[in-house]
Amino acid sequence: MAAPAPTALADRFVTVDGLATRYVEAGSGVPAILLHGASLGSSLDVWRHNLRPLAGFGVRAIAYDQPGFGLSDDPPEWGLGYRTSFILRFMDALRLERAALVGHSQSGAMAVALALSHPSRVSHVVVLGTGSLLPPLPDQPEKKRGPAEGEEGGDTEPTIADTRALLEANLFNQALITEEDVALRHRMSTGKNFRAFLARNRAAAEKRAAGDGAVGKQPLWQRLGEVRQPMLLIYGREDRGKAGARAALAKERMPSLNLHIVPGCKHLVPWDAADTFHRLAGPFLRG
């Protein structure tokens, strides 16, 4: 007789900066905050198959819906800076003086930024599929941009077919997609979450139009050598934006980087490369 499937982790809520914030956790030991990406439909649920495996390594794995995502309240402002500083407020609410940060997609850059600006609060950094932390290829001008991290989605509220198509575009192993996954992602892509997605994109566009003070600003990927905490980076070889080739270039330029390129993996690294992620990150975070 087959063993029963593990029960779902129970939703919890904590008030952070006046916002009701949904989170789940598994395990005990060294704390690690798992940060989902910012594309339409993102939520803590992207980690639901990773929390217990990481907990098995002696990690207190915690994931939460960032403001404006999932079941958490909308933020008072839509810029990336607020969500980055919110990480520290969330840690304060859980009485965590120091924690590891595990960031997928856009959140990998948030984790690195906090490691640089608040080193006493960040013990380790794990980056999964964050294209903005990779150098451009010689034939790929850095200023040439497609949709930025967090802008994947349309201008109208998605149908369930649209939601499935977005998942399929981000997964190499599409057999991992279940009807439950599509339905859940769709719920997190509509209503208030779709309106929040549009608000984030408007805020980002306004910041770019204003010049956002980025002239002469050093790209974050050029500062990876300044990160003093142990850092692990995992990229999918088949990820968008020629991420596999760019990750190889980063490793060539900075041989000391603990960087891994996983074949048969697109952008949803926590799903496509779950076994590799657990095998590498579990001991790394516990260490």
Bridge-based pairing state of the strands 231-236 and 19-26: unpaired
Burial class (CB in 10 A: 0-12, 13-18, 19+), 41: buried
DSSP letter assigned to residue 43? -
Which comes out higher in pLDDT, residue 146 or 169?
169
Report H helices in 10-144.
Answer: 51-55, 80-93, 106-117
4 pLDDT more than 90:
no
Domain boundaries in the chain?
A: 12-212+220-286
Give which of 89, 265, 280 is closest to 173, Cα–Cα: 265
CA distances from 55 to 25, 49, 59, 102, 268 (A): 9, 11, 5, 14, 20
- Percent of the chain at pLDDT > 70 equals 93
Q: How confident is the model at residue 215 (pLDDT cuts 50, 70, 90)?
A: low
247: CB partners within 8 A, 6+ apart: 134, 233, 235, 259, 261
Q: What is the pLDDT of residue 237?
A: 98
96 pLDDT more than 50:
yes
Report H helices in the chain.
Answer: 51-55, 80-93, 106-117, 160-170, 179-187, 192-209, 243-253, 269-272, 274-286
Round to whole Å and give the CA distance between 282 and 276. Answer: 10
Q: What is the pLDDT of residue 161?
A: 97
Q: Mean of the pLDDT values across residues 117-135?
A: 98
Q: What is the pTM of this model?
A: 0.94
8 A C-beta contact, residue 126 and residue 228: no
Q: How confident is the model at residue 220 (pLDDT cuts 50, 70, 90)?
A: very high
* Top CATH class, 12-212+220-286: alpha beta
Of 13-22, 94-103, 199-208, 249-258, the least confident: 199-208
Bridge-based pairing state of the strands 99-104 and 19-26: unpaired
- Percent of the chain at pLDDT > 90 equals 86
The whole-chain average pLDDT of the chain stands at 93
DSSP letter assigned to residue 267? S
pLDDT in tens, 33-67: 999 999 999 999 999 999 999 999 999 999 999 99
Q: What is the pLDDT of residue 143?
A: 52
181: CB partners within 8 A, 6+ apart: 167
2 pLDDT more than 50:
no
